[in-house]
Amino acid sequence: MAKHPSQPTGFTDAQMQAAWLKLDCALPDVVQCFEFCWPSVEKQLTQEAREAYLEVAGFIGKMGYGSEPVTDFLSQWPDAQLYLGNTGLRRLKEFLQHFWCSANAKAITLLLRKLSLIAKATGSAEAFNSWLSCCYKLAEQTTPRIHGQESLGPSQALLTLLEHSGELLQLATRSALDTWVDFGIRLSNGNPEQEKAYFSLASSESQAVLLNSCDGDQFRRHEKGLQAYLTGLWQSDQLLIPYSTLTTKTQDWLPYADDEGIRLPDILPTLSGVRGLDQYRLMLGHLLMHQQHSRPRYADNLSPLQRLTIEWFEDIRMDRLFMQRFPGLIPLLRLLHPKPDAHTSLPNQSAVIVRLCRFSRSLIDPGYIDEDFIIQQFAVRFNQQLQAAPLDDDQFVELALEFVTRTRQGKDQFAKVTFTETHVPWRDDNRHLWAYIEAGDEEELFDLPKADEPTEPEHLPARVYAEWDYLLQGYRPDWCQVYEALAPQVPPRR
């Protein structure tokens, strides 16, 4: 067991004690963190990497910023080492030395706090060094200066960027982020509040610039074509409304319909060889099939597992009807559908969703035959019901409830649930399938604040266009807003 960090003989293990002496840090909480992390360090790092690890940790402890940066580095670097290696550690030390005793010294704490996430997002020492170079450039151009010298104030742009670095690196490529950072430097022009709003993605202009730099099909570039698809093939005049994917988690990128229209992600990258435009068409088709053939049911007397299973069965039924109506889209559905198997779920996690996804795959892809005999039986019964009465949703609900009873396992009660290989990207969130008799939390999950007296909108939502800004010497995306409205009806003049 470890004693007080100032005591040189605190560990019974000789190698751990030698490493602790080399670290040479007497800050509070560091000894407990070191004792916890060292066993994994010995397993994951080579002797050379361990020496460098202790050297940098000791250097951080003597920088004078307290114990938090030291414990962040001790706990996160072993995982980061897998992606960055010794080269990345050298680049990290150069970063620490660059900002030590500067106005931007807080950047050190922010970087170390997100170190493992940044390492995983960059994936290599070269990409990590490129990201650090971007930070150097941002600090150089946005740090407040008086007569050419750094003032006491740090760069709000740099601190905000590092605070959100893990999320930003997962959202866009390095080249896209470079373009976004360059535009933000010119746009904020040294204004701290604008820098905070821009580099935290809080401003709409920041989101628009980053969105334009990302790979994928943007909704607004295909809006008219999708509206024509909705009108021509589905005889629907519902409004299509995009929502931001930059401010929501990936698993929440689900389309849905409400009283105002159909909500779709503002950008969709190519997935499994299927371009974003085709994914938009599948999302709209699935939602419209629900609107034509699904009806809400009371959820009060159903358990969460029963509701979940009914949703999956109803989604599968809609997809099969969709495939009958537009057989040309079948290859796209099969490419996008996840491909889990019996080994996808971990032993200590619930396999409910994996099991439902395997059942879904067996009905979307006839080339897949699940190894579970019960799933095979229900797939046959589902196909028989589709041939006999495809629009009788009551029969499919009964089949779903029986599926719950026949396939239930003991580990379905585990708190942790496996979601790996279970996200079907074109399906919606199924909020329209449920109604509630008694007031509770469930029916409020999707409710939005509404006005007391709904009023007729005066115009359609604005269409946005880029506009040239001569001060920035570049186009400002989504800057010009054009509103469409019907001309007022007045009697003609005689």
Q: Tell me the two tokens of residue 194.
A: 């604008």
Let me know whether 225 and 145 are in one domain: no
E-only strand ranges, 85-202: 145-146, 149-150
Residues 196, 218: Cα–Cα separation, whole Å: 26
Let me know whether 334 and 395 are in one domain: yes
35 vs 443: which has the higher pLDDT? 35
pLDDT surpasses 50 at 4: no
Residue 119 in any domain: the answer is: yes
pLDDT surpasses 90 at 418: no
Let me know whether 230 and 368 are in one domain: yes
Q: Total structural domains in the chain?
A: 2
Let me know whether 253 and 377 are in one domain: yes
How far lies 171's CA from each of 135, 165, 250, 362, 427, in Å? 17, 10, 9, 33, 22
What average pLDDT does the structure give for the chain?
86
pLDDT band at residue 149 using 50, 70 and 90 as cut-offs: low
Range in 64-78, 196-210, 371-385, 450-464 the model is least confident about = 450-464
- pLDDT, residue 248, reads 67
Residue 488 in any domain: the answer is: no
Tell me if 248 sits within 8 A of 420, measured CB to CB. Answer: no
DSSP conformation class of 489: P
Residues 253, 245: Cα–Cα separation, whole Å: 7
Q: Are strands 256-257 and 217-218 parallel, antiparallel or unpaired?
A: unpaired
Q: Are strands 145-146 and 217-218 parallel, antiparallel or unpaired?
A: unpaired
- pLDDT, residue 448, reads 46
pLDDT, tens only, 466-490: 788 777 677 777 778 888 777 777 7
Tell me if 298 sits within 8 A of 244, measured CB to CB. Answer: no
Residue 144 in any domain: the answer is: yes
Average pLDDT value for residue range 10-31: 84
Let me know whether 280 and 354 are in one domain: yes
Residue 205 in any domain: the answer is: no
Residue 248 in any domain: the answer is: yes
- pLDDT, residue 479, reads 75
- pLDDT, residue 342, reads 79
Q: Identify the CA nearest to 142 among candidates 176, 180, 184, 197.
A: 184
DSSP conformation class of 350: B
pLDDT surpasses 60 at 169: yes
pLDDT, tens only, 239-286: 999 888 877 665 567 899 988 899 999 899 899 999 999 999 999 999
Q: Tell me the two tokens of residue 55.
A: 């050297």
How far lies 10's CA from each of 15, 20, 75, in Å? 12, 9, 20
Tell me if 153 sits within 8 A of 190, measured CB to CB. Answer: no
- pLDDT, residue 25, reads 86
Which of 423, 444, 465 terminates a domain? The answer is 444
Residues 60, 67: Cα–Cα separation, whole Å: 9
145 vs 7: which has the higher pLDDT? 145
Let me know whether 223 and 165 are in one domain: no
Residue 400: count other Cβ atoms within 10 Å of its Cβ. 23
Residue 282 in any domain: the answer is: yes
Residue 474 in any domain: the answer is: no
pLDDT, tens only, 80-135: 999 999 999 999 999 999 998 888 999 999 999 999 999 998 999 999 999 999 99
Q: Identify the CA nearest to 289 among candidates 307, 314, 312.
A: 314
Q: Are strands 145-146 and 149-150 parallel, antiparallel or unpaired?
A: antiparallel
Q: Identify the CA nearest to 316 among candidates 292, 342, 297, 337.
A: 337
Burial of 179 (C-beta count, 10 Å sphere; 0-12/13-18/19+)? middle
- pLDDT, residue 2, reads 44
Residues 354, 346: Cα–Cα separation, whole Å: 10
- pLDDT, residue 460, reads 66
Which of 152, 171, 190 terminates a domain? The answer is 171
pLDDT surpasses 90 at 188: no
Residues 276, 270: Cα–Cα separation, whole Å: 5
pLDDT surpasses 90 at 325: yes
9 vs 323: which has the higher pLDDT? 323
pLDDT surpasses 50 at 451: no
pLDDT, tens only, 38-79: 988 888 899 999 999 999 999 999 998 899 999 999 999 999
- pLDDT, residue 151, reads 64
Conformation bin of residue 264: beta by default, left when phi > 0, alpha when psi is -120 to 50: beta
Percent of the chain with pLDDT over 70: 90
Residue 471 in any domain: the answer is: no
pLDDT surpasses 70 at 147: no
pLDDT band at residue 457 using 50, 70 and 90 as cut-offs: low
The set of residues, in sequence order, having a beta carbon less than 8 Å from that of 233 and lying 6+ positions away, is none
Residue range of the domain that includes 338: 217-444
How far lies 217's CA from each of 171, 211, 451, in Å? 15, 10, 34
Let me know whether 325 and 249 are in one domain: yes
pLDDT, tens only, 348-389: 888 899 999 999 999 999 889 889 999 999 999 999 999 999
Angle at 11 (CA atoms; ends 8, 16), nearest 5 degrees: 95
Let me know whether 230 and 319 are in one domain: yes
Let me know whether 303 and 438 are in one domain: yes
Q: What is the DSSP string of 16-34?
A: HHHHHHHH----TTHHHHH
- pLDDT, residue 467, reads 82
Let me know whether 253 and 387 are in one domain: yes
Let me know whether 143 and 238 are in one domain: no
Let me know whether 150 and 248 are in one domain: no
The b/e string for 88-98 (b: 16+ C-beta within 10 A; e otherwise) is bbebbeebbee
DSSP conformation class of 102: S
